[in-house]
Amino acid sequence: MKDYIYDGTFEGLLNCIYHHYYTDRANGIYTEDCYQANLLCGYQRVETDEQKAQRVYDAIEDKISSYDLRSVYKVFLSGNPDKEMIILRYVVLGFRKGSSVSSLHGNSIVNDFQSVLKKVGAETERMLQFVRFSVMEGGILYAEVEPEHDVLELIHTHFCDRFRNDPFIIRDVGRNKAMIAYQKHWYISEFGDDQVPMVSMEEAEYRRLWKTFFDNIAIKQRTNPRCQRNFMPERYWKHLTEMTELPPQHAWLTK
Amino acid sequence: MEATIMQKLKILADSAKYDVSCSSSGASRYNNGRMGNAHMAGICHSWGADGRCISLLKVLFTNKCEYDCEYCVNRRSNDFPRASFEPEELARLTVEFYRRNYIEGLFLSSAVEISPDHTAEKILESLELLRYKYGFAGYIHAKIIPGVSPEILHRIGLVADRLSVNIELPSSKSLGELAPQKKVKQIFEPMRQITNTLIEHKSLVGPGTMFKGQKLNTPENYLGTPTTGFANADGQSEGTAGRGKPAAGPETSVGRADEAVKYTSETARYSGPALPEFWDQVSETLPAPKKGAFAAAGQTTQMIIGAGGESDKSILTTSENLYHAFKMKRVYYSAYIPAVKSPKLPDLGTPVPLAREHRIYQADWLLRFYGFTVSELFQDGSTDLDPDLDPKVTWAIRNLDAFPIEINTASYEQLMRIPGIGHTSAMRIIRQRRYAAVRFDDLKKIGVVLKRAKYFILCCGRYYGDRKFEPETIRNSILQMEEGLQMSMFDQGGLSLGTTAGSVSALETAAKQSSAGALGTAAKQNSAVALGTARVQEATPLSGKAAAI
């Protein structure tokens, strides 16, 4: 039994799975910055070898299913601190059970995996709902988000299709990176405060209009803040136009 | 002085807020180079202070109204700020909101200014401008004003994803009293036309899973005239558009196909009101009848709860008729909010019947997705739903002879009838069963709401409810759970029901001794009679419990 330390990439994690089978069973899998030395068993740094990663990747697809391969990747994108072991246990079980593994809802390994998967899915959907663009100079759409899970690359299909003819930037503030897209081409890169474009002249006016609409569409006799919070958790409010004060409020607006 | 767009938006959003529907689902469309797309499941972008979802920019085109409907804030006699949009400014506003990802699209309704046709033309003009000039491919929900001419309706359908004609009141009696300018025929004619056109376009889907596996887009399903969907005071079908197969005779609800489809794409293409300037470019590409070209997301309607004197049964019977006759996607319900003073309506201070609206929605879901009928929900002769318990639990308690149901052998339809089990958990149970038996401990992980379900199920032959298997006991247990009330409040007739672990274990002991208790036998018989399957594999523990008390 060993603790594995990997570089935090998906390929790195696949290498850990490889070593779990061919070197020594994993006691825990950590990234360098999260690891606290364990006295009971030694640790090993896992080199990220592309070929080994590919072998595990193909094995998951062939022996389990491509659906589960996608699920594994989504769970990997989650912010759950135990995600590596949740994935490892699921993949190990999957190699034994084959494609039926995702139907074994009562199994606690599967249940742990699927509950994380569900959270990632929910956050992905919330991004489609709660991304709020600002129109910047030159017609660039710019949005800031702070998702708990790293779902930026799961939302490109939707937004690239919808805003095909608008250049847009969705910035993950917490992870300091952004998806930049135009006409169905997209990439994810690092993104700092200094790269934020200037806001356009009419932006403030449309925000005001939206807030006016938002305030007037609610029926006062039915006021129900708990219901509102259930559907729209408070942690998203920071970046919602309708729930924040009007400009100039954001740092980028004053620039 | 002309109002600013800010003032207009304020007034016209305020006037539109009583429309319930805000769904953006049912249409799926990729971006074909224009602006936007439509997402099959719909996307809610925000939730207002009242907890209702905001998916569409929901506004009236104008709130200047000729009509004087008693219940409506926009009624002519109400002293109220009035405004109208210009088509251009509305289209621009929609596009700008859409770009910022505030909304999925536009919900456009209107008060009746001058005449239904005049109003509908304004709506049509705005929508065509939005679709063709701005190239907007997002979601559009258009409200159809009763009494609109078929040509305009058809053209609105060609640009909108969803159409709705509001029935507003659940019976012709209250319609006559409260909305004297709206005629029954004017409401059902457009509904009939929409359904017939959808059949012509082969895109009639129907509500929920009600018509799953049935072919709806066949000529026999064309609706003839007259067709209405109202229920009378007793909750019986009032009109001719009854359930399922029509009765033979002069009042048959199904007419001849050729007579029913009067307004095809052909007629709409060349007749009707003056076309906007850019029409020349688009008329060339006007789609022939093909799937998705006309109101891809179907039609809906809305009913007010608590304005007239109708019972829950009569409201739901009207809904059921609408589902069967017009195959509409949904009926929305809105609890009446006393906003205007009228001698014919509840006083201004009357509490909003939110709980009643909630129960009716639950029952509506049972109709559309769970295979229930209205008569089943009211089979004990009552006319209102139980305010304390949800209608599925109420039904299950009244029909205990159909329970408990063995999770591992029940069909999908049977699973869907168990309180605490819905589509997702039913599918998960079925999927897991192929590889491994579903144990009681698995059910929670599967997502079954055990606090309700446990009274109605057997899992691997065992009963897990901790009480006596009889209607009153189960009812009280569930009530206690849902309301956190003390058991003693329900103690009647001196029967004290044990809740402690001790008494449960006493039951278990008794269970072992008595292998053929009354209930086990009953369940066995009933399983054969009512459900036609042998689902009780091992009745011992269950029967023991019944025998013990």
Look at residue B143 and give its three-state secondary structure.
strand
CA separation for the pair B232, B311 (Å, rounded)? 10
What mean pLDDT is predicted for residues B370-389? Answer: 90
Enumerate the β-bridge partners of residue B60.
B109
Q: What percent of chain B has pLDDT over 90?
A: 38
Residue in chain A lying closest to B55 (CA): A129
- B337 interaction partners in chain A (CB closer than 8 Å): 219, 221-222
**Does the structure show a pLDDT above 50 at A66?**
yes
Q: What is the pLDDT of residue B525?
A: 38
Q: How far is A38 from chain B (nearest CA, A)?
A: 32
Residue in chain A lying closest to B447 (CA): A105
**Does the structure show a pLDDT above 60 at A171?**
yes
Interface of B with A in 90-109 (CB under 8 A): 93, 96-97, 99-102
**Does the structure show a pLDDT above 80 at A153?**
yes
Helix A10-22 × helix A66-76 angle, to 10°: 110
CA separation for the pair A25, B547 (Å, rounded)? 53
A-B contacts (CB, under 8 Å): 152
Alpha helices, H only, A41-193:
50-59, 66-76, 83-97, 108-130, 156-162
What mean pLDDT is predicted for residues A164-178? Answer: 92
Q: Over the stretch B74-93, which tens digit does the pLDDT of each residue have?
A: 888 888 889 999 999 999 99
What mean pLDDT is predicted for residues B497-505? Answer: 37
CA separation for the pair B21, B333 (Å, rounded)? 9
CA separation for the pair B72, B53 (Å, rounded)? 22
Which one, of A133, A130, A145, A251, lies nearest residue A195 by Cα? A251
Tokens encoding B410: 């029940």
Q: Which of B4, B22, B46 to mutate to test the interface with A (most CBs of A within 10 A)?
A: B46
pLDDT band at B361 (very low <50, low <70, confident <90, very high): very high
- B57 interaction partners in chain A (CB closer than 8 Å): 213
Alpha helices, H only, B299-339:
312-326
Length of chain A: 255
Q: What is the pLDDT of residue B290?
A: 65
Interface of B with A in 32-51 (CB under 8 A): 33, 35-37, 39, 43-51
User: Do B242 and B323 meet the contact criterion of CB atoms below 8 Å apart?
Assistant: no
pTM for this prediction: 0.82
Q: What is the pLDDT of residue B500?
A: 35
User: Do B263 and B228 meet the contact criterion of CB atoms below 8 Å apart?
Assistant: no
Q: Over the stretch B84-131, which tens digit does the pLDDT of each residue have?
A: 999 999 999 999 999 999 999 999 999 999 899 999 999 999 999 999
Residues 6+ apart with CB under 8 A from B6: A208, A209, A212
Tokens encoding A132: 């709020």
Length of chain B: 549
Interface of A with B in 205-244 (CB under 8 A): 206, 208-210, 212-228, 230-232, 240-242
Say how many C-beta atoms besides its own lie within 10 A of residue B347's C-beta: 9
Distances (CA, A) of B33 to B30, B295, B544: 9, 21, 68
DSSP B359-421: HHHHHHHHHHHS---HHHHTTTS-SS--SSS-HHHHHHHHTGGG--EETTT--HHHHHTSTT-
Q: What is the pLDDT of residue B236?
A: 53
Say how many C-beta atoms besides its own lie within 10 A of residue B527's C-beta: 23
**Does the structure show a pLDDT above 70 at A82?**
yes
Place of tokens 């663009």: A133
Q: What is the pLDDT of residue B289?
A: 58
Residue B435 and residue A97: Cβ atoms within 8 Å? yes
pLDDT band at B177 (very low <50, low <70, confident <90, very high): confident
User: Do B272 and B266 meet the contact criterion of CB atoms below 8 Å apart?
Assistant: no
Backbone angles phi, psi at A245, to 5 degrees: -70, 155
Q: Over the stretch B309-326, which tens digit does the pLDDT of each residue have?
A: 889 999 999 999 999 989
Q: What is the mean pLDDT of chain B?
A: 77
User: Do B429 and B457 meet the contact criterion of CB atoms below 8 Å apart?
Assistant: no
Residue A162 and residue B5: Cβ atoms within 8 Å? no
Q: What percent of chain B has pLDDT over 70?
A: 75
Does residue A92 sit at the B interface (CB-CB below 8 Å)? Answer: no
Residue B442 and residue A100: Cβ atoms within 8 Å? no
CA separation for the pair B314, B261 (Å, rounded)? 31
Residue in chain B lying closest to A214 (CA): B48
Question: Of B156-160, B167-171, B275-279, which range is least confident?
Answer: B275-279
Q: What is the pLDDT of residue B231?
A: 61
Place of tokens 């897991």: B432
Say how many C-beta atoms besides its own lie within 10 A of residue A221's C-beta: 13
Backbone angles phi, psi at B142, to 5 degrees: -110, 135
CA separation for the pair B518, B513 (Å, rounded)? 13
Q: Over the stretch B244-288, which tens digit does the pLDDT of each residue have?
A: 333 333 333 333 333 333 444 443 333 334 444 444 444 444 445
Q: What is the pLDDT of residue B225?
A: 67
Task: Give the residue with greater pLDDT, B540 vs B190.
Answer: B190
**Does the structure show a pLDDT above 70 at B503?**
no
- What beta strand segments (E) does B104-250 contain? 105-109, 139-143, 162-164
Backbone angles phi, psi at B492, to 5 degrees: -130, 150
Task: Give the residue with greater pLDDT, B546 vs A108.
Answer: A108
Q: What is the pLDDT of residue B152?
A: 92
**Does the structure show a pLDDT above 90 at B38?**
no
In chain A, what are the domain boundaries?
2-121, 131-198, 203-255
Q: Over the stretch A7-62, which tens digit does the pLDDT of each residue have?
A: 999 999 999 999 999 988 888 899 888 777 776 778 888 989 999 999 999 999 99
Does residue A131 sit at the B interface (CB-CB below 8 Å)? Answer: yes
Q: Over the stretch B394-434, which tens digit does the pLDDT of each residue have?
A: 999 999 999 899 999 999 999 999 999 999 999 999 999 99
User: Do B536 and B527 meet the contact criterion of CB atoms below 8 Å apart?
Assistant: yes
What mean pLDDT is predicted for residues A128-137? Answer: 93
User: Do B195 and B204 meet the contact criterion of CB atoms below 8 Å apart?
Assistant: yes
Q: What is the pLDDT of residue B288?
A: 52
CA separation for the pair B271, B273 (Å, rounded)? 7
**Does the structure show a pLDDT above 50 at B548?**
no
* DSSP label at residue B129: I
Q: What is the pLDDT of residue B75?
A: 86
Residue B432 and residue A104: Cβ atoms within 8 Å? yes
- What beta strand segments (E) does A124-243 contain? 134-135, 141-145, 168-172, 177-182, 185-190
Does residue B5 sit at the A interface (CB-CB below 8 Å)? Answer: yes
What mean pLDDT is predicted for residues A214-230? Answer: 90
Say how many C-beta atoms besides its own lie within 10 A of residue B400's C-beta: 18
Q: What is the mean pLDDT of chain A?
A: 90
Q: What is the pLDDT of residue B343?
A: 83
Nearest to A217 among B35, B48, B337 (CB): B48
